[in-house]
Amino acid sequence: MLRSFVVLTSVCAAYAAVLPRDAPNGVHLAVDPKCGVAGGRFGDVNIGLKPLTSYEHIVAFGDSWTDGGAHNGEPLPPPVLTPPNPRAGGRASNGPVWVEKLASAAGATLLDFAEIGAVTDKNIWPSSLLPTTASSANDFVGQAHNYINQRNGFDPETTLYTIFLGVGDFDLSQQTGTDNLYTVAGAIVYTILELTSYPTYAKNIIVVDNYGRGIYETPSGDAFKEGIYAGLNTLHTRYGTSVGFVDLKTLWDGVLGSSPGYEAFGYTSKAACLPSSTSTSGACANPESTFYWLPGIPSAATHGLIADYVEKVLTTC
């Protein structure tokens, strides 16, 4: 109880295929992380996380940006498109998602619990607004509990946990007009606290955020990031948990804005390749160099840049 109180008061058998990391079309990073300081305002930060190749397992939680087509840590289906279905092996992408690429770079086994449509804590939002998902674990809380209940017994020192949520929560906040994203941040930190406790004892946690996707920036959204950032710092200072925070705003602003602009990254378009999320009909001619695949959802090329950016934060911040 004391451990939970301290953190909350601070903020209120799977498989990784060997996947190529270099985009054959020349899409590449054209921005650097903006490294922050532990205990300061949010920014890209690595507090104690080891080099990526130190990890034997990567356990992923999230929504459509992380969903690899399977949701309970089982082997992921091949990332193959079968038109007119726009989802490559069940992914909201035309290829592997970022965490698959990260696991490949690490040489680690990936257990992916993310699911399209997931939010942080479904109890925060009206049930009528939540999307239907393939399982009952349509939030981070449920995904984490599913993993904990598996009792896989992985070595905490060589297991990295990735959490990438908040986009759906931000959208619901905008839709309902409710200013409760700081509560969402508290739910993320509390669930991370559960992962660091018995029986999992997680020691390596990285949170990725892109709530506004380079378009929206609000005080409540920034408070959401501040809450997570402060909670991660508390986990490190009080309990020795190695933590990281990755703010993809820098990447999104770089592509969607004019400095340096999408062409500097090797993209031919910063728009979506598909006009809808339900069919490949009307697809663009160059999906391998388009920023989005579905409207508002990254292409496989962009997932590669996300993985590269996360890895760069680990090595430079």
Contact criterion met (CB below 8 Å) for 94 and 291: no
Question: For residue 37, what is the domain's CATH number?
Answer: 3.40.50.1110
What distances in angstroms separate CA 230 from CA 189, 196, 227, 236, 314, one per listed residue? 9, 16, 5, 10, 19
24 has a pLDDT exceeding 80: no
72 has a pLDDT exceeding 60: yes
- Tens-place pLDDT, residues 173-208: 999 988 889 999 999 999 999 999 999 999 999 999
Q: Which domain holds residue 109?
A: 2-316
Residue in the structure block whose two tokens are 């920023």: 291
User: Of all residues in the chain, what percent carry a pLDDT higher than 70?
Assistant: 90
- What Rg value do the Cα atoms of the chain yield, rounded? 18
| pLDDT band (50, 70, 90) for residue 32 | very high
Residue 307, Cα to own-chain centre: how many angstroms? 10
4 has a pLDDT exceeding 70: no
CA nearest neighbour of 114 among 152, 156, 59: 59
Question: Could you give the CA distance from residue 255 to residue 267 in angstroms, rounded to a whole number?
Answer: 9
Query: What beta strand segments (E) does 181-296 contain?
Result: 204-209, 242-247, 269-272, 290-294
Contact criterion met (CB below 8 Å) for 296 and 275: no
CA nearest neighbour of 293 among 26, 123, 81: 81
- Tens-place pLDDT, residues 291-313: 999 999 999 999 999 999 999 99
Question: Could you give the CA distance from residue 259 to residue 265 in angstroms, rounded to a whole number?
Answer: 11
- The whole-number pLDDT of residue 255 equals 97
Looking at the structure of the chain, the number of domains it has is 1
Residue in the structure block whose two tokens are 């970022």: 98
| pLDDT band (50, 70, 90) for residue 22 | very low
In terms of Cβ atoms closer than 10 Å to its own Cβ (0-12, 13-18, 19+), residue 254 is: buried
- The whole-number pLDDT of residue 201 equals 97
Q: Which residues contact 17 (CB under 8 A, 6 or more apart)?
A: 76, 78, 96, 100, 104
Q: Which amino acid is at 297?
A: I
Q: Is the C-alpha dihedral spanning 301, 306, 310, 315 positive or negative? A: positive
Lowest-pLDDT choice from 2-11, 83-92, 162-171? 2-11
Q: Percentage helix, strand, coil, to 5, in the chain?
A: 40, 15, 45
DSSP letter string, 210-222: -TTTTT---HHHH
- The whole-number pLDDT of residue 253 equals 95
Q: Is the pTM of this model over 0.75?
A: yes
264: number of Cβ within 10 Å: 15
Question: Could you give the CA distance from residue 48 to residue 172 in angstroms, rounded to a whole number?
Answer: 34
- Tens-place pLDDT, residues 144-176: 999 999 999 999 999 999 999 999 999 999 999
- The whole-number pLDDT of residue 137 equals 58
DSSP structure class, residue 277: S
- The whole-number pLDDT of residue 130 equals 84
- The whole-number pLDDT of residue 178 equals 87
